[in-house]
Amino acid sequence: MALPQGTPSSFSTTNFDYLIVGGGTAALVIAARLSAIPAITVGVLEAGPKSFADPFITVPGRFGEALGGHYDWKFETVPQPGLNGRKLPWPRGKVLGGTSAVNFMTWTRGNREDYDAWEALGNAGWGWDGTLPFFKRTETLHQSSVEHQLRHQSHFAAEHHGTDGPIATVYSTEYSVPHQHWHSTLETLGLETNRSHFSGSNIGAFTTLTSVDPTARTRVSSATAYYLPNAARHNLHVLAEATVQRIEIEQRDGERVATGVAYACGDETYVAKASCEVIVCAGSVQSPQLLELSGIGSPEILEAAGIPVKVANLNVGENLQDHMMTAMIYELDPTLTGPDEIRASPALAKAAQETYDSSQSGPYTMLPCALSYASLPQVIPAATLDSILSHLPSPQTPRDRILAKQFSSAKRGQIEYLFDIGNWSPYFKPEQGKVYGTMLMMLQLPLSKGSIHISSPSIHDKPTIDPKYFAGPGGELDFAIMAPTQRFADKICRTAPLSSIIQRRVFPPEEAPEEDFASWVRDTAVTDWHPIGTCAMGGHGGIETGVVDERLRVYGVKGLRVADASIMPLHICSHPQATVYAIGEKAADLILEDRGL
């Protein structure tokens, strides 16, 4: 299908009702839903290119290969004292579809308690019951057969899934050897297989769904699912390789009103107007950056950059939360073949591609799908956990009080474990000819809170990203939790039948003290690429505690909303992809409601 090819000049002369900043996960959901009404004209500005045929994006088994390339914004944190001064790369998608076009296609949902916590803060309609319809609206579940369920533990409860949404969710047809051992290994350790992990509790082991087309076995992103089927609509205009510089805000009748955006294409700058709303969907890194560049934020930060203050809000760019991850490496049975071996061998890569092209099968269809979520009482001995929790910081805010409740709950999967073939650590140098597997461990509900702020008055200068990993009293508790939960990660790999394919641990080496992984965690922990919270919903506290209200309207500016992962006030025990799609669906509903439709 030939895609519409607009120009910056024609885009800027179009009379838009709604302008959407960013063409990522939530953005294209909103664009599709609004433009379904012929009387509404929608414009989308995306800084990256349109790309629908690059195998780095489309082929599931090549997950991760786009990171660090031209589809990546290539952000980086400032040095982190809690990580012994390390800076961390922070990949984010710079392409139509955003991070949904470069992520690992994992399709999971958090717990009922995760979303109910948002509502408890005063964000009406954002609890489990209020968000479930939007989770279902985005999805079409392609059910696994009884035989597939028995062989791969691909269980589901159909009533909790969607049946006619744009995103196809499917179980893989083939899995790596470690996956075949996952469920029985975790069962041995007391983490039972969860047969309905989309029903409001994802505690336990499960085989995860993926956002992959069930026939072509290609990635499904917001670009392929929400944009392509609607690209020919006369009232939907998407301009790629256009970088928004600021939101145009005017003073009208004593109110601040968003009227459009200024954006750059090449060396030229343009302005596009919106008669109804500007909707910022630039993600947890760039949504706060754009608000600040437009004069919305902390007066101290704006004045230092020479930006006039239009709305003073100390919360813009604050409340940054991220899942932290460690990657423990094991040498595996040398007869196994994983993604590292395929990428290193032209012959293996050619064979994998030929199998994929001819039958949509083979290693290029495989994704890491062996997951487990565990509560702290399940993986930390009681005496150790009691000692850790005795240092729980005194809650200072409603968010802190609600978050603190997680630690006595066996219903929250605070730790995620995932194992698959391949070396996932940037700090381990593999030996040629050896096959490796990685045990990933991810902290889900961090107490560490950081910030993202502008570094200059230009959109072309990357913002200052400071997650404050392991910093402050909350961060110290995060660190105290990750060391003992790392011992459980190693225990998984020493338990049969998974241990039958493992020869030895190589990172950290076997000679490291098994009882204490603390220094290794501090030296090697990285981001799990799940930042949220930098334009959070304020709830009961309003502008004193947040950036947007429960309808995602920016405090102090009429006609301006934010709709992406940045609006999440607290993190969830889940990969966030499905939640961000649901945010997009709910945002579109709110916008249409406010329009009277």
What does the alpha-carbon distance between residue 284 and residue 539 come to, in Å, rounded to a whole number? 19
| Residue the block writes with tokens 């939007």 | 134
DSSP letter (8 states) at residue 226: I
Residue among 197, 237, 530, 571 flagged as catalytic: 530
Q: Please say whether the beta carbons of 138 and 167 come within 8 A.
A: yes
- For 169-198, give one letter per residue: b (16+ CB within 10 A) or e: bbbbbebbbbbbbbbebbeebebebbebbb
Residue 228 is which amino acid?
Answer: L
Q: Please say whether the beta carbons of 259 and 287 come within 8 A.
A: no
* Share of the chain residues as helix, strand and coil, in percent rounded to the nearest 5: 35, 25, 45
- 457 marked as part of a ligand binding site: no
- 99 marked as part of a ligand binding site: yes
Q: What is the DSSP track for 283-349?
A: HHHHHHHHHHHTTEE-HHHHHHTTPPPSEE-TTTT--BB--EEEEEEEEE-TT---HHHHHH-HHHH
- 5 marked as part of a ligand binding site: no
The closest of 202, 117, 176 to 575, measured between CA atoms, is 202
Residue among 179, 181, 453, 575 flagged as catalytic: 575
Helix (H, G, I), strand (E, B) or coil at 540: helix
Angle between helices 577-594 and 128-137 (to 10 degrees): 100
The closest of 464, 489, 484, 473 to 403, measured between CA atoms, is 473
- 530 marked as part of a ligand binding site: yes
Residue 183 is which amino acid?
Answer: H
Angle between helices 25-35 and 577-594 (to 10 degrees): 30
Q: Which residues pair with 44 in a beta bridge?
A: 20, 238
- 95 marked as part of a ligand binding site: yes
- The reply to whether 530 belongs to the active site is yes
- For 242-252, give one letter per residue: b (16+ CB within 10 A) or e: bbbbbbbbeee
Helix (H, G, I), strand (E, B) or coil at 153: coil
List, as residue ranges, the binding site.
95, 99, 244, 529-530, 576-577
By annotation, the residues acting in catalysis are 530, 575
User: Which parts are annotated binding residues for FAD?
Assistant: 95, 99, 244, 529-530, 576-577
